[in-house]
Structure 1
Amino acid sequence: MVPDLDSARSAFDDQRPRNAAVRPLRTVALVGIDGSGKTTQARQLATALAEWGLPATYRRNAGGRRWFGRLATALGRRDGEHLLGRKTMLFVESVLRWLAILRTLLRRSVTREVAIMDRYAVCQFASIRAHAKTPRPERLNRAERRARLAYRVFPQPDVTFLLAVDPAVAYDRIEQRGYDHEEMDYLRAATAAYQALPEHAGFVVIDANGTPEQVRQALLAHLGAFVPAAVPKPRVPAGPRRPRALLVAHARVLLVTVATLAAAASVLTYQLAEGF
């Protein structure tokens, strides 16, 4: 079912001045602790905005921790940190997330899409604080300083939603989905880390303890300023692509691939030279 954007738009339109211009929207990031509903809400938000004519696309900026956790389980280890070591896992996660964000932003620049991102740079900063040997969420440690140097090349999203959820609620959701596990102590440390980040003042905080529908409506209401007031015309199905159009499309894909590989080499060289 497509989320009900009508009610969210009308609630916003009641408060918006009649002559207010529609603000351009290029990037939206959903951040928060594991179990807050980032992936579910990002997918549905992209679908809802696409229904209203915005070229919105879901993009996941994962750091690979879940994949390494599954690999660790298959090899008889507890998790990715137990398999690779805490510092190595954080290093790998930082590099993979950096590359994922780069790929998302390159795609956006080429396709002109509205990127609805599941996770962004601040997720890595919070992860570093929460996974520290002695977690002190309020402190900026050496690993986070190095990560911030690498991630500062990325622009801030137009909107960053922090899905705020009680750690106990998040824990229950993670257990119910059944394919991974997080300790309650980590979820509490991650919650404190997000609240202590200097970027927190710029977040749009959404209460994510409610039902998915309630969270979705809250997200859509905040995005009312970016949604065109008029309902767009139905999309006309595109005809067969001409050879020139196909060539341009392939060239764009090649450009994204080459740029990503070049960035990968750069960030790996930098991180290996500096150490993590």
Structure 2
Amino acid sequence: MARSLRATGGTARLRRVALIGIDGSGKTTQAHRLADALTAAGRPATYHRNAGGRRWLGRLANRLGRPDAQRLVGRNGVLAVESVLRWLAIAAALLSCLVTGRTAVMDRYSACQYASIRAHGGQRWERLARIGYRVFPPPQVTFLLTVDPAEAYRRIERRGDDHETMGWLTAADTAYRTLPEYPSFVLVDAGGPPEDVERRIRAHLAAWLASEVNPPAVDASAADRPVAAAIPGRSPVQARP
């Protein structure tokens, strides 16, 4: 983030923030909180859930007597549906914020699709997805919420509206850490209470938000230079030190 601020002279406006991570890391909770906090602070923001439809596919598979989405449409089918639905969701979110001028708080972004593809072992699909997703500008800040897969599993089981295996969560965690974009992510420990996670996220964004309201810097060297003294009947002359 510091590099981005320097590159823009410290005046960049925060337009796109993404929260990514494995299922159960708290992305949705934190994205909602961040959008609300930015709006309350006078920087209108909108929450966008850029889901890939995997949960919906899983529920459909269960209704049709299949254990999961992959057994219903196959691995390639799951990856194709995810890639298309997430692409459409991100496109709609970016267009909405372009029209309204609001900050887009993204619950998932393109990196989530790349990680999903890697976790599924579909490297060929990742190359295709990157071609399709390259039209989207990268978020100015991407928070990777990190949590132990075992803790994520417990959270998912507690909420009770879906199910993930430990194998999948571990594979997804590894996938995020091996993405080429990983060094640019802001890592946030999401293993504690939501309030602590929210505080870390907002603390990191403080520099961005301050950069939007800081007045232009005063030229200190100019302020220290002697000024011209006006003498009646004569042209201004520089005051002697």
Q: TM-score, normalised by structure 1?
A: 0.72
Residue 85 of structure 1 and its aligned partner are, at CA, apart by 1.1
Q: In the alignment, what sits opposite 2:139?
A: 157
Q: In the alignment, what sits opposite 1:146?
A: 128
Q: In the alignment, what sits opposite 1:56?
A: 45
Residue 190, structure 1, aligned to residue 179, structure 2: no
Q: Any idea what SS the aligned residue of 1:198 has?
A: coil
Residue 76, structure 1, aligned to residue 65, structure 2: yes
Question: Distance in 1 between the 2:28 and 2:18 partners?
Answer: 11
Question: Distance in 2 between the 1:145 and 1:230 partners?
Answer: 36
Q: What aligned pairs does 1:64-213 form with structure 2 within 5 A after superposition?
A: 64-132=53-121, 141-213=123-195
Runs of 4+ in structure 1 deviating by more than 4 angstroms, as ranges, are 228-231
Q: What aligned pairs does 1:35-50 form with structure 2 within 5 A after superposition?
A: 35-50=24-39
Q: Is the 8 A contact 1:22 1:228 kept in 2?
A: no
- Relative distance call for 1:21 and 1:148 in structure 2 (3 A) is closer
Residue 21 of structure 1 and its aligned partner are, at CA, apart by 4.9
Q: Which amino acid aligns with 1:167?
A: P
Q: In the alignment, what sits opposite 1:27?
A: 16
Question: Distance in 2 between the 1:45 and 1:78 partners?
Answer: 35
Residue 108 of structure 1 and its aligned partner are, at CA, apart by 1.1
Residue 47 of structure 1 and its aligned partner are, at CA, apart by 0.4
Q: Is the 8 A contact 2:17 2:139 kept in 1?
A: yes
Larger radius of gyration, structure 1 or 2?
2
Residue 83 of structure 1 and its aligned partner are, at CA, apart by 1.3
Pick which of 67-76 and 106-115 moved more: 67-76
Q: Any idea what SS the aligned residue of 1:35 has?
A: coil
Residue 23 of structure 1 and its aligned partner are, at CA, apart by 3.6
Q: Any idea what SS the aligned residue of 1:153 has?
A: coil
Q: Which amino acid aligns with 1:157?
A: P
Q: Which amino acid aligns with 1:54?
A: R
- Equivalent pairs, count: 205
Q: Which amino acid aligns with 2:78?
A: M
Q: Which amino acid aligns with 1:155?
A: P
Residue 230 of structure 1 and its aligned partner are, at CA, apart by 10
**Identity across the alignment (%):** 60
Question: Distance in 2 between the 1:21 and 1:28 partners?
Answer: 17
Q: 5+ unaligned residues in a row in structure 1: which ranges?
A: 1-19, 134-140, 232-276
Q: Any idea what SS the aligned residue of 1:227 has?
A: helix
Q: Any idea what SS the aligned residue of 2:136 has?
A: coil
Q: Is the 8 A contact 1:81 1:89 kept in 2?
A: yes
Q: Any idea what SS the aligned residue of 2:105 has?
A: strand
Q: Any idea what SS the aligned residue of 2:181 has?
A: helix
Q: Is the 8 A contact 2:50 2:109 kept in 1?
A: yes
Q: Any idea what SS the aligned residue of 2:14 has?
A: coil
Q: Is the 8 A contact 1:22 1:227 kept in 2?
A: no
Residue 227 of structure 1 and its aligned partner are, at CA, apart by 2.3
Residue 228 of structure 1 and its aligned partner are, at CA, apart by 4.5
Question: Distance in 2 between the 1:50 and 1:195 partners?
Answer: 31
Q: Is the 8 A contact 2:12 2:212 kept in 1?
A: no
Q: Which amino acid aligns with 1:179?
A: D
Q: Which amino acid aligns with 1:184?
A: M
Q: Any idea what SS the aligned residue of 1:91 has?
A: helix
Q: Is the 8 A contact 1:27 1:115 kept in 2?
A: yes
Question: Distance in 1 between the 2:76 and 2:141 partners?
Answer: 31
Residue 82 of structure 1 and its aligned partner are, at CA, apart by 1.4
Question: Distance in 2 between the 1:152 and 1:226 partners?
Answer: 25
